[in-house]
């Protein structure tokens, strides 16, 4: 076997990395043991609670004494049940002695594993107070995912049905709900003393033992207010986060923000389906669509969340193998959606989706830990968000597998965890955006430094002041004769005020390009700052050539610039200084050209350009000292005057 020699220090780094990996593995093992211990504790506590709340067998067989209870009357301990393997029994057959004998009280009425089956339930009731005979009661079956529920009875002691059967469920329109409740509810009356028997048939892919309660309708409506407020706040927060993601996606156009927006939208769809609001509002007359949303919503949400997470955590960069695994989970979830709705084993597919969601969440936790080790700080927030969701999803999944007792508030825990996760993800996106902005600012500053070092103006592409000074000093050292033409735009401030700085930038870029078109390859156009340009013309030129060049520049510069369908025009004032006649240093040449340019600005009745030598002779003839002019831009004119 051949070994490659590594540089000194590499072995130490490799050893430290291996040690960190082993520490992470040990930590994960400890966390897994703690999770198993917590799950076992939940199971044992559930068994203990069931045993503590269980009543003697004889007491269980007594009819339920119906009375008004503010929190509803628990009926699950009095429910008898049997499974209809044929899935075809009718109520007349169920009420025969042979089938009646099959009804039994379950040992753990609040625990049940999801399975595709048909269950028949039987409940015997008596009025605790005969004065409640006129009162209407509500039997609530806390489920929204049942395909079909059929309520029969109540039957009196003579076997006479006191009401017509009621058929409802997810396969039926919203109008079939007798109590207009998201959960399955049935209205009934007990007309007087005696024992009454009610039956209901449950057909569902997710059938379990149901926590049935009997309510006074007014009490039930009152009890749902907190849940409705909780749902409303959850939907409002998710919609707000979805708009937040949409804005970021429109501004930056990055897939990360698009998948966050879709995660929020699919989260709303999943919660609306699980809470029964999808059937109540958008699909009230289209139950098949509500059923599809019930199975597809969680899978779509998981897909979008995975794609968001792999982008936020940069798994392709930090953990390529985990990134591949996340992509595999995404494909599996996408294939599970049609199979769960139209395949031969929808329950098995749904359970595989549950496993995939939990497993992929664990994978994302590992990915967050890897990114955190790389000091990628948005991963810290992502880790806490995914951990919240793992706890919330774990509660409902473990209950659906029959490991612990089912309780309706477990769904609220999952819902709250989902909303909290997306809120934490929004903060993580903000942290990432802050890092990106800081990186871009640093990159912009570095680019500006490089551009300035190269002597180029970043906006116009002309030479910068540094580039202008470098070229001028080079020609001075070489004793090269040249001319310096200093230009200032007239009316440029009005362009910025009237049309905005973007229009001003467009004008500056156009002027720089037009100036270059009027010059030779050896000449230089520079932007000294603001709207001030300088031109270095190499060699000795006659006054006629320089005058012609100045006129071409002025004519080109005063042509309108088209910006967003509008024509924007500026004027130009120009001063010309020649080396060595007007100065033997670059600073003196600039002062001479500056005096000439501002003389043109202040005397608009004259030409739009002037030679510094002509201005000096004119001032000497008038006895006026040559002082540095005040840099005041004349108001209201564009300064264009033909020679």
642 pLDDT band, cuts 50/70/90, is: very low
Task: Check if the beta carbon of residue 628 is closer than 8 Å to that of residue 575.
Answer: no
Could you write out the DSSP letters of every residue in 267-333?
HHHHHHHHTTHHHHTTTTT-HHHHHHHHHHHHHHHHHHHHHHHHHHTTHHHH-HHHHHHHHHHHHHH
Burial class (CB in 10 A: 0-12, 13-18, 19+), 392: buried
* Among 489, 488, 509, 491, residue whose Cα is nearest residue 563: 509
Helix (H) or strand (E) holding 517: helix 501-517
Predicted pLDDT at 14: 38
- Rounded (5°) CA angle 185-191-197: 60
Evaluate if residue 6 carries a pLDDT over 60: no
Q: Does 487 or 145 have the greater pLDDT score? A: 487
**Distance (Å, rounded) from C-alpha 443 to C-alpha 431?**
18
Rounded Cα distance between 316 and 527, Å, is 44
And the tokens for 390? 């793992």
**Residue-wise pLDDT tens digits, 161-219:** 999 999 999 999 999 988 888 888 999 999 999 999 999 999 987 656 678 999 999 99
What separation in angstroms does the CA of 591 have from each of 485, 573, 588, 597?
11, 15, 5, 10
d(CA 583, CA 406): 94
Q: Can you tell me the distance from the alpha carbon of 585 to that of 555, in angstroms, rounded to the nearest whole number?
A: 30
How far is Cα 53 from Cα 407, in angstroms, rounded to an integer?
A: 14
* Distance, CA of 337 to CA of 493 (rounded, Å): 61
Q: What does DSSP say about strands 524-529 and 532-538: parallel, antiparallel, or unpaired?
A: antiparallel
Would you say residue 376 has pLDDT above 60?
yes
User: Which runs of consecutive H residues, i.e. helices, occur in 188-286?
Assistant: 217-223, 225-252, 255-274, 277-280
**Do you find a cis peptide bond into 580, omega within 30 degrees of 0?**
yes
> How far, in Å, CA of 98 to CA of 103, rounded?
10
CB neighbours of residue 47 within 10 Å: 14
**Per-residue pLDDT for 98 more than 50?**
yes
Mean pLDDT over each residue of the chain, to the nearest integer: 81
| Burial environment of residue 40 by CB neighbours within 10 A (0 to 12, 13 to 18, 19 or more) | exposed
Residue 138, classed as helix, strand or coil, is: strand
Q: Using CA atoms, how far apart are residues 414 and 412, in angstroms rounded to an integer? A: 5
Q: Is 32 a residue whose pLDDT tops 60?
A: no
How far apart are the C-alpha atoms of 638 and 413, rounded to whole Å? 70
Instruction: Kindly report which listed range (104-113, 186-195, 535-544) carries the lowest average pLDDT score.
Output: 104-113
Angstrom distance (rounded) from CA 155 to CA 199: 9
List, for residues 61-87, the tens digit of each pLDDT value: 789 999 999 999 999 889 999 999 999
Among candidate residues 237, 233, 280, 267, the one with its CA nearest the CA of residue 393: 267
3-state secondary structure of 640: coil
């Amino acid at each position: 076997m051949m070994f490659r020699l590594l540089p000194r220090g590499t072995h130490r780094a490799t050893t430290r990395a291996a040690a960190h990996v082993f520490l992470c593995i040990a930590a994960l093992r400890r966390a897994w043991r703690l999770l198993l211990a917590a799950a076992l504790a939940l199971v044992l506590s559930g068994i203990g609670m069931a045993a503590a709340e269980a009543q003697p067998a004889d007491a269980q067989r007594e009819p339920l004494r119906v009375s008004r209870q503010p929190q509803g009357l628990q009926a699950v301990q009095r429910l008898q049940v049997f499974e209809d393997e044929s899935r075809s029994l009718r109520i007349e057959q169920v009420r025969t002695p042979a089938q009646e004998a099959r009804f039994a009280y379950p040992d753990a009425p609040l625990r049940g594993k999801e399975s595709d089956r048909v269950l028949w339930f039987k409940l015997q009731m008596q009025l605790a107070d005969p004065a409640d005979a006129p009162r209407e009661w509500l039997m609530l079956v806390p489920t929204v995912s049942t395909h079909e529920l059929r309520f029969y009875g109540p039957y009196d002691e003579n076997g006479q049905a006191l009401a017509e059967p009621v058929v409802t469920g997810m396969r039926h329109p919203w109008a079939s709900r007798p109590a207009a409740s998201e959960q399955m509810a049935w209205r009934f009356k007990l007309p007087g003393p005696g024992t009454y028997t009610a039956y209901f048939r449950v057909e569902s892919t997710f059938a379990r033992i149901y926590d049935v309660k009997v309510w006074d309708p007014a009490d039930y409506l009152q009890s749902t207010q907190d849940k409705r407020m909780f749902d409303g706040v959850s939907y409002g927060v998710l919609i707000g986060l979805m708009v937040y993601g949409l804005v970021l996606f429109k501004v930056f156009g990055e897939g990360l923000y698009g998948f966050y927006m879709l995660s929020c939208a699919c989260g709303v769809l999943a919660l609306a389906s699980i809470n029964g609001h999808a059937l109540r509002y958008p699909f009230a007359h289209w139950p098949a669509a509500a059923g599809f949303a019930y199975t597809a919503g969680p899978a779509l949400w998981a897909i979008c969340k995975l794609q968001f997470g792999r982008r936020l955590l940069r798994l392709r960069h930090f953990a390529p193998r985990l990134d591949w695994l996340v992509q595999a989970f995404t494909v599996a979830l996408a294939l599970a959606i049609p199979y769960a709705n139209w395949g031969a084993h929808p329950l098995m597919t749904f359970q595989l989706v549950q496993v995939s969601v939990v497993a992929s969440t664990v994978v994302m936790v590992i990915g967050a830990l890897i990114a955190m080790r790389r000091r990628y700080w948005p991963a810290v927030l992502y880790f806490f968000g995914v951990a919240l969701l793992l706890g919330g999803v774990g509660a409902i999944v473990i209950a659906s597998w029959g490991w612990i007792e089912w309780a309706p508030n477990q769904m609220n825990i999952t819902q709250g965890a989902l909303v909290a996760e997306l809120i934490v993800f929004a903060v993580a996106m903000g942290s990432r955006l802050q890092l990106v902005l800081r990186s871009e600012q640093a990159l912009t500053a570095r680019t500006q430094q490089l551009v300035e070092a190269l002597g180029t103006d970043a906006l116009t592409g002309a030479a910068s002041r540094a580039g202008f000074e470098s070229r001028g000093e080079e020609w001075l050292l070489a004793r090269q004769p040249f001319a310096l033409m200093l230009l200032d735009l007239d009316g440029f401030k009005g362009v910025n005020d009237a049309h905005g700085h973007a229009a001003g930038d467009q004008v500056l870029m156009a002027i720089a390009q037009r100036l270059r078109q009027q010059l030779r390859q050896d000449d230089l156009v520079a932007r000294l700052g603001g709207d001030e340009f300088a031109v270095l013309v190499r060699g000795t030129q006659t006054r006629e050539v320089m005058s012609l060049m100045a006129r071409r520049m002025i004519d080109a510069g005063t042509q309108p610039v088209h910006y967003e369908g509008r024509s924007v025009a500026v004027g130009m004032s120009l001063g010309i200084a020649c080396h060595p006649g007007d100065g033997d240093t670059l600073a003196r040449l600039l002062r001479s050209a500056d005096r000439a340019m501002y003389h043109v600005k202040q005397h608009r009745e004259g030409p739009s350009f002037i030679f510094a030598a002509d201005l000096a002779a004119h001032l000497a003839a008038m006895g006026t000292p040559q002082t540095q002019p005040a840099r005041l831009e004349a108001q209201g004119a564009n300064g264009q005057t033909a020679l």
